[in-house]
Structures are given as structure tokens and as C-alpha cells.
Chain A
Amino acid sequence: MKHRYLPMTESDQKAMLEKIGVSSVEELFSDIPESVRFKGEYKIKPAKSETALLKELTKMAQKNADLRTNTSFLGAGVYDHYMPIIVDHVLSRSEFYTAYTPYQPEISQGELQAIFEFQTMICELTGMDVANSSMYDGGTALAEAAMLSAGSTRRKKILISSAVHPESKEVVKTYAKGQYIEVIEIPHKDGITDLEALNGMIGDDIAAVIVQYPNFFGRVEPLKELEEIIHAHKSMFVVSSNPLALGALTPPGKFGADIVAGDAQVFGIPTAFGGPHCGYFAVTSKLMRKVPGRLVGQTVDDQGRRGFVLTLQAREQHIRRDKATSNICSNQALNALAASVAMTALGKKGVKDMAAANMQKAHYAKQQFKAAGFEVPFEGPSFNEFVIKLNQPVKEVNQKLLEKDIIGGYDLGRDYADLKSHMLVAVTELRTKEEIDAFVKEMGDYHA
């Protein structure tokens, strides 16, 4: 058959078969026993031409309510942010996206250098010493942090705040099951980790305490007090953090965090229905040789010129095999590149301004909701999200909002039995005053 991705011609095939010394392509499959041979063709949809397929998939995409044509107040770990146009132009350089892991550094300096720069930017934002080349996403990065903690402390219990993203919590629990590690939740009090409860739960058998900063409800966790409690028991202090928020908030590194993990989706990566995003993983220099995933390091060539290589590979699965502490092989290189370009475009000043705009706009929206008579249960310092209490189910409200081309906030009742009819509202720098006011008014109308 002829296909634009398959250059083989009949005369090529004839010449090649001759060289191999067989009379048909079929003969090359004679080693597959008859009993397991698949006969005939797959019962799948027939091929479509480029034009026809584009048409069909365009229609399929249009069935979805996207964030470009609707106004979104939904966050809960994935955010609709300013994406500098330049990001996609860099990403479209196919020398980047059609390459694989830089196993041959001499012809992969571009990728290696870009990752080295990414590692540096993550260190800068988190206030940590070392960052890896990226992880699948924030949830699995956090799970790897839990595993690293258990391995390094030789303890088998993890405490995780109930104000950590519910889906990340679930992922941590799945990974923990694999390693026979117990995960216990610390309750929250008024939307932040309950320090008193933590004091009662922590002991010298706790490998790590995991909190989120800002937490799932948007609140700023008291990292200073948490650190004192956690390190008094030589447990690892693990912080899941939105790196954009760190443009405005004191970084976890300053508060003595041992591991900071999270997702860089906020920097130039589309929401993409939940993935691919870009996990990051940063640690103190003490933990450098225990980091999962790939690390890029600087070195020199035989003429003393600066260059970059994958390094400290003795930690990794392809060397350690069953002794490896993590099985991660790939990273999210292309998305780490996207995040690097976005962080570069924002730069020192932009990241601060963008973080500030999120806080300001969310604060404004919160005040408008209060003025409209909504209860704001977890009042206190927050980043770009806050909780409001509705007098009807969130799902129903969201369906009404959809008719007005608004994507409403997250239904907290899905994860917290005591937070039925509570909506987590996200307001990023993209939302205008007009959009916020219209949203509050619409919500007020339902609330009456």
C-alpha cells in the first residue's frame, strides 16, 4: 500500500528481499508460531485522508467547552494562565520535540543545556539546592518524595495533610501501598493543617510530613511552625508547591524544607484535560544522590569547553535495575522546556508581577463574594483560590453557569464530606474585573 509516512516502493522491496534471501515479507514472520498468528486485519476504523480526518477531529474538539471560549474560575491544581505566545514557537522547533533522551551529549547539547537552565530556575523559585530534569506531574512527584523519605529515613509511616490536593493524596497512597508504607491524614482546621493534631500524631517513626503551599483551599500554610514540629522528630519536611505562587511567597527552602515538589503547568503549559503537565522535584544538597529521575550536570570536553551531560546515573533504573529506588525512566522534557521558556519570558520581574496579580484578583473576587452575601469559610491569607459556601449543590450551579459560558469552581463535596455545597474558586491574572463581576452577579442571582 502507498502511504505518505511509508517511503517503501515495490522495486525497493524487491531489491531488499533479494538481499535478505527470502521471497516474500511474509517469510520474515515465519518465526511466529501459527497458533498465535493474527489473521486478517484489525477491526478498527478505516484510514482517513488528512483533510477528512482534520474535519472529523475538529468537530469532536468543538463538542467540548474549552477555556478559550469560556471564562473559567476552575483551578484545583490545574490553572488557566497567561501563556507567552513565544513558548509554542520554541516548542515547535522539531530538533527539540523529535529528539529522545540526550544519550549522546555531543549532538544533544541544546536539550541538555535547556534542562540545566530549567533545573536552575526551579532551584531559584523553590529556594532549594538541587532540582531534577522533571517528573511526570505534581502528583507522582509528590509520591516519589514520599518514597524517597521512607527510603532515606528507613521509616514506614507518612503523614499527609488533608489540605493537600485530593488526587495527589490518592496517588501517594497508591505508591505507598507498593512499598508497604502507611499513609495517615492530618486533619485541617479552618482550611489549614491542624498543628495541634499534627503534634499528637508525629513521632520518631514518621518518615515525612507532607503539606501543600499554598494548600488545596488556597491558604498559606504556616511553614515556620510546621518545620519546627517536623524536624524535632527528624522527619522529612516535604512541601508540594505551586511554583508561580513562589514569585510572591517566601520559598519553602527558606523554611527548611527537605523536598519541594509540584507542577510547573502554571508556566506556559496548556491544561490539556489534565496532561501532559510537568512535575518538578527539588531537594537539599544532602539528598542530591537520592533524587529520582534524570539530572543534567555541567562538565568539560577534551578541549576544556563547557558542556552538559546526564549525570549521577548510578541512581537510576537502567544501572541499578532491581536495586533502584524509583523506576522512572523518561521525564517531561518537552514540557520542562515549555516551562523554561515561560519562566524566561516572565523573568525576575514578571514572575513576581504575575503572582501578585493572582493574589490581587483573587482577593478582589473574594471581597465581591462577601459583599454579595456569600459565606467565605476559610478566611485568611490565600493565593489565587478561596472557598465559598453555596445554598445549593455545586454541580447544579456549574451547569447553570455553563449556559452562560462560565466554567465554575471546584465542587469540594467530591472529596470532603463536611464541605458539601462548598465551591473552590480560582481567579488567575487572566480574569478581568468585568468577568469577575459578571461571575459574582450570576452566582448571586442563584444564591438569592
Chain B
Amino acid sequence: MHKEDQPLIFELSTEGRIGYSLPEMDIPEIALSELLPEGYLREEEPELPEVSELDIMRHYTALSKRNHGVDSGFYPLGSCTMKYNPKINENVARFNGFAHLHPLQDESSVQGALELMYDLQEHLIEITGMDEVTLQPAAGAHGEWTGLMMIRAYHEANGDTKRTKVVVPDSAHGTNPASATVAGFETITVKSDENGLVDLEDLRRVVGEDTAALMLTNPNTLGLFEENILEMAEIVHGAGGKLYYDGANLNAVLSKARPGDMGFDVVHLNLHKTFTGPHGGGGPGSGPVGVKADLIPFLPKPVLVKKGDQYEFDYDRPQSIGRVKPYYGNFGINVRAYTYIRTMGPDGLKAVTENAVLNANYMMRRLAPFYDLPFDRHCKHEFVLSGKRQKKLGVRTLDIAKRLLDFGYHPPTIYFPLNVEECIMIEPTETESKETLDAFVDAMIQIAKEAEENPEIVQEAPHTTVIGRLDETMAARKPVLRYQKQ
């Protein structure tokens, strides 16, 4: 990585320089002051940079060199499924006939786009074992909230208005309880047992006639399959609640088990995880939601339907929860996911899961002698270690993560899930080779040894990055959230 500080684009600005080429003005011009009422013509110019095209390219190239992506190196960030982002996806998404369509064009002029959306829905229905899918939600958390709003509408339509609680395991993603709150529910936490699975006794205790739904990730965030899933479904359904599947970890079970067959009523998928939408530095994602038949009336509108060989949007959905997003979802990401699914086919998707799970188990076994393994059983696509042993030596999980930066790796997810002390959560994905996994494991083993023999080198890491550990306390105490011209 580049060591020199890269100035802000505003600091590179020089008055009078331009970086654009606007179309010619071929009509008679009128002073804007004649077109606007007094006080509405902008007087103070926005302080945007004034730079040439080469200045721009150099600036962003320099910034890109100060950034680590999957294409830069291994990125075993647990729960995020940082697999390879295929390049054909990028080409297809940029086709004029996909990238440059207006969402409000006449349906007759976008049949190809609708066909792609419809076929993607069909593929996702088969993959999840659900009855219908909407592509409208923009991301996983958005999908969670959409699904919970549908569950709420379903209970309300049944006159079942006392169901105000959503049950969430203590190992759940933070978005689960937050989505429940935003959908108007109260969150109840269910404990994990000593095996890292939902404690059935505790589930029986918290589920009742006020339960709207149980939200579950399976395999859960510890990378463990909730093997009592059918019993859990019985408990929740028996009490009149619905079962919600957080699809963040779907990469672990493609072709092995489908949420629809496990008793789930609502599913959201993260197309930017399992289905290779690039993470983009934090988005855009795409979070389609699948439902069982009894929830179909509540899907966000419009719903895409096929009539003969024509596709159209159905807006006449009286029980729909309404729109959750303008237009029809993050189409550009959906195009990428569709391209990926069509590239892999059924046997390809099966191999994806098998290799992801094999990779995770292999790493786990190689690392087990050097770090605490809180749950000693086969994992699925990811596993968690605990840095407890190293903590006793004065080396925290955060230090281990920072030390990994010196080896050129993006560290695993750390301090999550919350129910494991000094947690290190590793998800290798299926697109990494054995050589890569071995090299990473070797680095982890070396760090474990350093923790014993030379803890300072870990505690003071990173040593090779463009910048050292940053003062986050100062950032929060005296927030500087924008550049101010001096």
C-alpha cells in the first residue's frame, strides 16, 4: 500500500480548472434570474473541487491503493461471504439494455428486464423452497424489516393484534433486533445453550401467544447448524408465530437444506453475499424476500406477474404492506446475481457449498491447537475461535486482527457474535485455494506464537499499513465529518 498521505480532493483544487464536457447549448439562453423568483437563484457557489480529468484519475487511483478488496487479497470476514466477484457479472450489468433503462418506461419496452427479474425470482424460489419472492428490498436489513412488516400484516389480517414480540437468539446479527423495533415489535432474546445452539427450554419459555415471529440464522452466526430446527418450528408454529430465516449464511446450505423445508415462513437473501454481488465498499446490496403461500397477499407492491408470454406489474394488491422502496429493487445487483446463478447451475451451486464448508472445517482443524475452539464440532461455512488464551498473555483479539494486516490479510470478523469471549469469526468461502488457506493459517499460528514470545509486536500492530491505529475516541468526541475550506 502507498505510504504517503493522499490530500483531499478539495486540497488539490485550483481555481479555473475543469474536468467535464457538457453537451453544447444549442438553444437561446435566458438569464436564470428571469426563470426563478427572487431569492431562489443560488448566490453562494458550492465548494466543489476544480480539477482536471487526470487529477481525478490520479486521486482515485491513489485512494484505491489505500484500500483492500477481495481482488487485493484474502478477506475471511465472517458472516459477510467475501467470495470472488465474477467479472462477467460486471459486463452484463453494464449492457445498455440493463444499465440504461428507466423504471417508469412502458412495460412493453422493458420485457427483457422483466423476464430476467421473473426468472431470477423463479430460481430463488427453487433455491429457498418458498412459494413466492419479491426483489424489492435493497439490502439484507431492508429485507428483514420487509419480512417482519409482512408477518405483522398477516397477524393483523387474522385479527391477531396481541402478537407484539419477536424472538431473537443472543447470537443474532444486530440488524435482527433493530429491524424488529423499526417494524413496531418488541424484541425478546432467547439464550444459546452450551453447544452454541438455541436453548430449546428457553425458547419454550419465551414463546407464547404474544409471539409474532422467531428470527433465526441457520447455520447460526457461530457457523453451527441448528439441528433442532424442526422442533423449534413446532414450538413457534404451535404458539401461532411465524418463522423468519435470516439468509446471511445461505452459502452454507445450497443444495443441502432449504429454508422452506425447515419450516420457515419468510426468508431474506443477501444477493451480495451468497450470489456474488460485489460488496462495493459497503453497498449497494440486494435483499430479496421469499414467503410461503399464506403470506403472498402481503408482499410489497407491485408484484411481477407473467401473463402468457408477457410480463407485467400487478398493483392491485389490497392486502400488500405497500412499497418498501421506489421502483423494483436494486436491479443492477439482481442482474449480477442472475448471471452468477446461470454461470453455476445446479451442480455448481452444490459444489459452492461443499467447498465452502470443507474450507472452513479444514482451517478450523488446523487452528484448533493454537486458539480456543469454543464449539468443537463440524462447522458449516464459517467458525468461531476465542482469543481467551491470548488475552491472558495480554494480547487481545483486536491486536491479533491488526497483526494480520501486516501479513496482507483482511482480518476475520471480531467481537461478534456477542456470546463468545474475544471472538474471532472466520469465513474463508469456496473461491479460495488450499494454498491461500494454508498461508493464512500459518500467519495465525505465527501470531499465536508471537503472543507468547513477543507480545509487543502484536500489541503494537499494524507495522506495515499506510497508517497506524486511529484515535476513534477523538473522532467521536470531536466529530469532524466534512472538509472545511480554511
B431 contacts A6, CB within 8 Å?
yes
Cβ of B422 to closest chain A Cβ, rounded Å: 17
**What A residues does B474 contact at CB under 8 A?**
299-300
B389 within 8 A of A: no
Cβ of A246 to closest chain B Cβ, rounded Å: 7
B71 contacts A98, CB within 8 Å?
yes
A114 within 8 A of B: yes
B281 within 8 A of A: yes
19 CB contacts below 8 A, A to B, read A28-B357, A31-B227, A44-B346, A114-B281, A116-B483, A178-B183, A220-B36, A273-B103, A300-B471, A301-B467, A307-B470, A322-B180, A324-B174, A334-B284, A347-B19, A354-B20, A359-B35, A402-B106, A433-B27
Complex CA–CA separation, A35 to B262 (angstroms): 9
B324 contacts A130, CB within 8 Å?
no
**What B residues does A328 contact at CB under 8 A?**
139, 141-142
B67 contacts A111, CB within 8 Å?
yes
**What A residues does B68 contact at CB under 8 A?**
95, 99, 104, 107-108
Cβ of B346 to closest chain A Cβ, rounded Å: 4
Using C-beta atoms within 8 Å of the partner chain, give the interface range for chain B: 35 or more
Cβ of B90 to closest chain A Cβ, rounded Å: 7
**What B residues does A61 contact at CB under 8 A?**
92, 95-98, 112
Cβ-defined partner of B174 (8 Å) among A170, A321, A352 = A321
In this complex, the member of A106, A248, A271 whose beta carbon has the largest number of chain B beta carbons within 10 angstroms is: A106
A297 contacts B174, CB within 8 Å?
no
B472 within 8 A of A: yes
Cβ of A448 to closest chain B Cβ, rounded Å: 23
Cβ of B113 to closest chain A Cβ, rounded Å: 5
Q: Report the stretch among B53-61, B200-208, B237-245 that lies at the interface.
A: B53-61
A402 contacts B109, CB within 8 Å?
yes
B22 contacts A250, CB within 8 Å?
no
Using C-beta atoms within 8 Å of the partner chain, give the interface range for chain A: 35 or more
**What B residues does A35 contact at CB under 8 A?**
230
A203 within 8 A of B: no
Cβ of A79 to closest chain B Cβ, rounded Å: 9
Interface of B is mostly: loop
A327 contacts B145, CB within 8 Å?
yes
Complex CA–CA separation, A327 to B180 (angstroms): 9
**What A residues does B472 contact at CB under 8 A?**
299, 309, 311
Cβ of B94 to closest chain A Cβ, rounded Å: 8
B51 contacts A38, CB within 8 Å?
no
Complex CA–CA separation, A271 to B99 (angstroms): 6
B82 contacts A100, CB within 8 Å?
yes
A138 contacts B26, CB within 8 Å?
no
Which residues of B, 80-111, contact A by the 8 Å Cβ criterion?
A: 80, 82-86, 88, 90-106, 108-111
Cβ of B228 to closest chain A Cβ, rounded Å: 8
Complex CA–CA separation, A90 to B59 (angstroms): 10
Complex CA–CA separation, A3 to B432 (angstroms): 13
B306 within 8 A of A: no
B77 contacts A100, CB within 8 Å?
yes
B469 contacts A360, CB within 8 Å?
no
Cβ of B86 to closest chain A Cβ, rounded Å: 6
